[in-house]
Structure 1
């Protein structure tokens, strides 16, 4: 800021002295306002854009010391220079400086001394204001960086970025980026206290280099929000990779300082968060595609049995898990398996694929459920030593309803018969653990009875215990719809949260 553009308020009840002070400061290039009393000065400081107050110590209504204290109390960054022709001894000077004045000039005052003192005081305060502004903006930048990296979705990321930019620069703001699917959208807000909204927007990315660049453009080119009149917009572009579209942060130019340091840092921080979100979306898409490609393409038609399944992958903002199921007829028996690999990631989905194929292979060899789990466990401990999984495997003979079942730490299936519900319990260690396993559980499924198999995503909640989830499942399963597909759908609607945080697999089997 240039001293010649500063506005000075001269406060003195002496018209002659006030005239001299105004003349000297005006010739030095300052814009000068006048006040005769302390009350008038206090009123003007709160309204007019004043950079410096030159204040007489002796005023008719209030002492200059009191006026200075009140100015500093309301406006700590407002510099004040005391001038006096009467209070000139050391006690007066000490009192003036102690009560907030930045300088104390005793008459007779030379014009050069007044102008030099005003320039020095303003220079210090402007440096202080710049430092305070930078600290405030860097704090806002840190808060915004945390918010965008914590955003659960791409749209919320852009909203957090726009709201953060508006708070950092105290102005309208827009943040534009391209999603993993190639859709260009923008988060826009009208000001620091306004929530951001998402709108579609197209940008020509031609010629935008890798790294951070800043350019000034016309507001009409970025008609996302009502920009301040008589101003341009400053656009910071952040591009991390040649094969990725850049990110843009747009704010009014008047909000910027030399070299736009905070705006550039903000664009780079948001670009990093956008790239992380794009990578997550890409991995999530790959994992979901892998899951769906490895699950059974169709449910077998089995005489004497009704079958239905539901499989819901985790929501787009949550990593996919390793849930899987299997339904296949082998030598007159229905093989049913359901399992869950520990962890949530593309890796968990690939482990799930290996386990499913292993279960199928050992079942085709003619092994019983317990032996299938034993062999799969040995395979895991040899080839996947750091993995854990739960699984439940059973063979059903449709004509007789005879069931042979083995579990490896999986949640117990629900047996529903004529409105009565019980859990088919078999305590056994997880896959991946070397420990003795119990013998297979054998029973006959009564005619009209329904078995429900599921993974933990159906019943687990962060705000409830597993026992609460099992009780809720038992209550819902007491009534089985005639249509098993509708029954499975009802289980998800009544038990799963609106936004699924973990994969959910449900398999229902009913003996006619």
Structure 2
């Protein structure tokens, strides 16, 4: 509105009720290359500005006579400065009568930029107008830069908060689109040549090109960044850039901003139409920030894949791999976290021993590849230890010592239960885990009074809890990923679980399915669940 036009390409609104005054100022301003819009009063000036606002052609400066008949020039200035569309319009007063120092002070206090006494030398009039326009443009440029710096800060924050390469690419593309006012797409090229793509919101709502086009872009980005670090910009001819990335079905030149920070190997490419983002340092900074954030995310994604593969390969599937124990029905469920960046250490186990069936549900504290590997160690150690002594208290003590010896910085929770199928007797040792829940078929549910310190702390453990499971009872063991909700007391969460389980239909599978349906959607942690009953 008050942008980067040449000084001679300006429009001046002259507000004067005296025709001679308007006619005197007009030639002076036109000789300096200004366009002149003459109006006869304050209300006419407001109507003219409203019309120009609708068409996007506001003037660059207003010359206002102080002594207008319908409102004073000071009042007109106050109105202009109080309305957002015209608040930045510079106002220069002129008067032949109201020229005392206090009048000048009133005018400046009302928001005016300058005060002319007429008749004035034409050169003075031209100089005052130039100064007023120049000041408004500098102010407008500073505000525009501040707005764009805010957009950049928001975009970098979104990029740094991304939890996976696809989220990062989406955030970078949206940031580039907001900075340039054009559609944008972003590409992150992984070390194996895999391409992660994101699009600005407006562009993402429409269909994007097929896999062949993505392969072409991956090859292009790899060639343009091969052996080169830093940030650079390149215009790709329409013949080399796949159609439809920026605008559906359109083949066009594309401007690429590519970043490979020094010492890194992951290129990030921001793509926009050729006319957008040219020489834009802020877009370059966004590309660099995205590239700095991309490599750790890709490393973490690879680590996550390894950890999840490891974790799930050692969790037996419900069908066919659980021990067949005469007189005992078993059901298990495992649901990975919905958040892509989380790697849990949740596990369950069921082992047939000479003293009955040993069941366990636990969670290694933390979300990392180490948590997943320690989880596997605990499951193997549990199976090995129970060959010699399946008592839950002895097993908890041995697992505690194992962690202290081999993983002194790791802690874990586990609940162990040994069920004798013939008598229904259950012995429970709990190490910092949620207590088991006994659910009756006829309604009602109660937690077993079993607690104790986490594994890995070397603290004294209480005696195990003992109970007798009736044939109409089910014993439920879960990890906290099923019920724990951020900002809600864990006691409240456990009460909700107990109340829901009490109304479950008969059977261990029905119980697990009901609870997963009620609590297991969009969880931020893995869920492990085991239910058993006497058959």
In which range does the TM-score fall when normalised by the shorter chain?
0.7 to 0.9
Q: Which residue of 2 aligns with 1:31?
A: 35
Bigger drift between 265-274 and 289-298 goes to 265-274
Q: Which residue of 1 aligns with 2:283?
A: 263
Bigger drift between 131-140 and 10-19 goes to 10-19
Is this contact kept in 1: 2:176–2:270, CA < 8 A? no
Is 1:5 the counterpart of 2:22? The answer is no
Out of 85, 95, 98, the residue aligned to residue 84 of structure 1 is 95
Q: 1:67 to 1:402 in 2, by over 3 A?
A: closer
Matched position secondary structure for 2:200: strand
Is this contact kept in 1: 2:172–2:270, CA < 8 A? no
How many angstroms does 1:456 deviate by?
1.4
Q: Which residue of 1 aligns with 2:137?
A: 126
Q: Which runs of 5+ in 1 are unaligned?
A: none
Report the aligned-residue RMSD: 3.7
How many angstroms does 1:134 deviate by?
1.3
Q: 1:442 to 1:493 in 2, by over 3 A?
A: same
Q: How far apart in 2 are the matches of 1:198 and 1:286?
A: 34
Out of 64, 73, 79, the residue aligned to residue 64 of structure 1 is 73
Q: How far apart in 1 are the matches of 2:381 and 2:69?
A: 97
Please list, as runs of the form range in 1=range in 2, the aligned pairs for 1:91-110 lying within 5 A after superposition. 91-110=102-121
Q: Which runs of 5+ in 2 are unaligned?
A: none
Q: 1:232 to 1:103 in 2, by over 3 A?
A: farther
Out of 178, 185, 200, the residue aligned to residue 188 of structure 1 is 200
Please list, as runs of the form range in 1=range in 2, the aligned pairs for 1:334-413 lying within 5 A after superposition. 334-366=357-389, 368-399=391-422, 401-413=424-436
Matched position secondary structure for 2:413: strand
Out of 204, 207, 213, the residue aligned to residue 232 of structure 2 is 213
Q: 1:336 to 1:110 in 2, by over 3 A?
A: same
Q: Which residue of 2 aligns with 1:140?
A: 151
Q: Could you report, residue by residue, the CA deviation over 1:392-424 in whole angstroms, capped at 9, with x for unpaired residues?
A: 223444455554442223222223344353333
Is this contact kept in 1: 2:353–2:390, CA < 8 A? no
Bigger drift between 107-116 and 218-227 goes to 218-227
Name the count of aligned residue pairs. Answer: 501
Q: How far apart in 2 are the matches of 1:226 and 1:125?
A: 36
How many angstroms does 1:3 deviate by?
0.8
User: Normalised by the size of structure 1, how large is the TM-score?
Assistant: 0.83
Matched position secondary structure for 1:101: coil
Matched position secondary structure for 1:5: coil
Is this contact kept in 2: 1:340–1:352, CA < 8 A? yes
Is this contact kept in 2: 1:281–1:316, CA < 8 A? no
Q: Which residue of 2 aligns with 1:459?
A: 483
Matched position secondary structure for 1:314: coil
How many angstroms does 1:9 deviate by?
2.2
Q: Which residue of 1 aligns with 2:268?
A: 246
Q: How far apart in 2 are the matches of 1:248 and 1:21?
A: 51
Q: Which residue of 1 aligns with 2:187?
A: 177
Q: Which residue of 1 aligns with 2:22?
A: 18
Q: 1:24 to 1:276 in 2, by over 3 A?
A: farther
Bigger drift between 109-118 and 482-491 goes to 482-491
Bigger drift between 232-241 and 328-337 goes to 232-241
Q: How far apart in 1 are the matches of 2:349 and 2:308?
A: 17
